[in-house]
Amino acid sequence: MTSTSHKPRILVTRAIFPQVIDRLSEHFEVETNLADDLWDRAELLRRLQGKVGVFTTGVERIDADLLAQCPELKICANMTVGYNNFDLDAMTAAGVLGTNAPDVLTETTADFGFALLMATARRVTESEHFLRAGHWTRWSYDMFSGAEVHGSTLGILGMGRIGQAIARRGAFGFGMQVIYHNRSPLSAALELECKARYVSKQELLTTADHLVLVVPYSAASHHSIGAPELAMMKPTSTLINIARGGIVDDAALAQALKNRVIAAAGLDVFEGEPSVHPDLLTVPNVVLTPHIASATEGTRRAMADLAVDNLVGFLVHGRAVTPLNPGFTAAA
């Protein structure tokens, strides 16, 4: 398709709210993917030709090889807070800005983390499957007896904004003792606000009744929770992953759940998703959801709007709202 438009050209890689396309179209010539086709890398590369910006959804791998083939590209705007799809060093070297979508999803994602914790501890999906299968024929004193949530010890690995929002829910909503481990401790004021205590990773693993993972994915956090860490956890404990696939060794977790090394797990993210390790599908003591922690309409709109603000901010006004590259100086 040829065009006489002189607006800068951008690409939106997946289907998104029509209002998002409308907002972008005020400033840009927008190539969309309204059919929501899943493009392979070659197709993404082809579509990126001649584009100065791209609206991404957190899974499109932006690395040196791709950037070398897209010399006109200036900004990649993720509508997600996580940005492990960006090789930020390669982007900085190529003069390409990366932006993410923090803050707007914090409370919604923390709500979901807590929902998954509750469902896992109290065996909500396992018992529903039992009921739907027609197995509920009588009351029994220990039927689907689960783990206590109120008053228990909540462990949080990764104490960024979402971790802090989960800590507040646990401390003030459920009277939990909150412990956390992070690269560095929070300020004393923030610790007080979250009623959370900094501990070593070892103490976190051995003490938590419910351990929630909210750490960003990187080479350093790959398989942060594997067989040795699971073996350190209490046999009565639950593990919740709302961060990223790859932080947990899913094969080791499936084995640990099968052998009751820990009591249960709740997983919203998976290694190699949307594929799920087959052994996780056969153990009963795991709650599985398809990466939906931020999925409310209001939050997904806010995330997409922030990506638009970044594209317009940078390409039209010269300043992005939530830039990622440290010390990035290149102008749009």
Distance of alpha carbon 232 from alpha carbon 253, whole angstroms? 13
Catalytic residue among 168, 223, 291, 301: 291
Residue number, 29 or 305, with CB nearest to ligand 8YV:
305
Residue number, 32 or 294, with CB nearest to ligand 8YV:
294
Distance of alpha carbon 180 from alpha carbon 211, whole angstroms? 9
Token pair 């923030």: residue: 190
Tell me the backbone φ, ψ of residue 322, rounded to 5 degrees.
Answer: -130, 70
- Residues between 89 and 148 that touch ligand 8YV (CB under 6 A): 105
- We find the least distance from the C-beta atom of residue 231 to ligand 8YV, in angstroms, to be 28
DSSP secondary structure string, 208-259? Answer: -SEEEE-PPPSTTTTTSBSHHHHHHS-TT-EEEE-S-TTSB-HHHHHHHHHT
Residue number, 80 or 237, with CB nearest to ligand 8YV:
80
Which of these, 81, 80, 83, lies nearest to 63 by C-alpha position?
A: 83
Q: 126 to each of 17, 154, 208, 209, 232, how far by Cα in Å?
A: 34, 22, 22, 19, 25
Residue number, 108 or 238, with CB nearest to ligand 8YV:
108
- We find the least distance from the C-beta atom of residue 236 to ligand 8YV, in angstroms, to be 29
Residue number, 50 or 323, with CB nearest to ligand 8YV:
323
Asked if 291 is an active-site residue, the reply is: yes
- Asked if residue 15 binds ligand 8YV (CB under 6 A), the reply is no
Distance of alpha carbon 301 from alpha carbon 104, whole angstroms? 9
Residue number, 82 or 313, with CB nearest to ligand 8YV:
82
Q: Are 104 and 302 in contact (CB under 8 A)?
A: yes
- We find the least distance from the C-beta atom of residue 100 to ligand 8YV, in angstroms, to be 8
Residue number, 8 or 158, with CB nearest to ligand 8YV:
158
Q: Are 301 and 307 in contact (CB under 8 A)?
A: no
Which of these, 327, 326, 309, 244, lies nearest to 53 by C-alpha position?
A: 309
- We find the least distance from the C-beta atom of residue 232 to ligand 8YV, in angstroms, to be 27
- We find the least distance from the C-beta atom of residue 17 to ligand 8YV, in angstroms, to be 14
Residues 6+ apart with CB under 8 A from 314: 53, 74, 75, 97, 99, 320, 323, 332
- Determine the size of the site formed for ligand 8YV (CB under 6 A): 10
Asked if 273 is an active-site residue, the reply is: yes
* Interface residue with ligand 8YV, options 182, 207, 294, 325 (CB under 6 A): 294
**Site map for ligand 8YV, 65-84, x if CB under 6 A?**
---------------xxx--
- Residues between 160 and 179 that touch ligand 8YV (CB under 6 A): none
DSSP secondary structure string, 101-114? Answer: --STTHHHHHHHHH
Which of these, 69, 101, 9, 92, lies nearest to 315 by C-alpha position?
A: 9
- We find the least distance from the C-beta atom of residue 26 to ligand 8YV, in angstroms, to be 25
Asked if 169 is an active-site residue, the reply is: no
**Site map for ligand 8YV, 23-62, x if CB under 6 A?**
----------------------------------xxx---
**Site map for ligand 8YV, 274-293, x if CB under 6 A?**
-----------------x-x
Token pair 């806010």: residue: 302
Catalytic residue among 23, 244, 277, 300: 244
CA torsion angle 239 241 245 250 (round to 10)? 20
Site residues, ligand 8YV (CB under 6 A): 57-59, 80-82, 105, 291, 293-294
Q: Which residues are catalytic?
A: 244, 273, 291
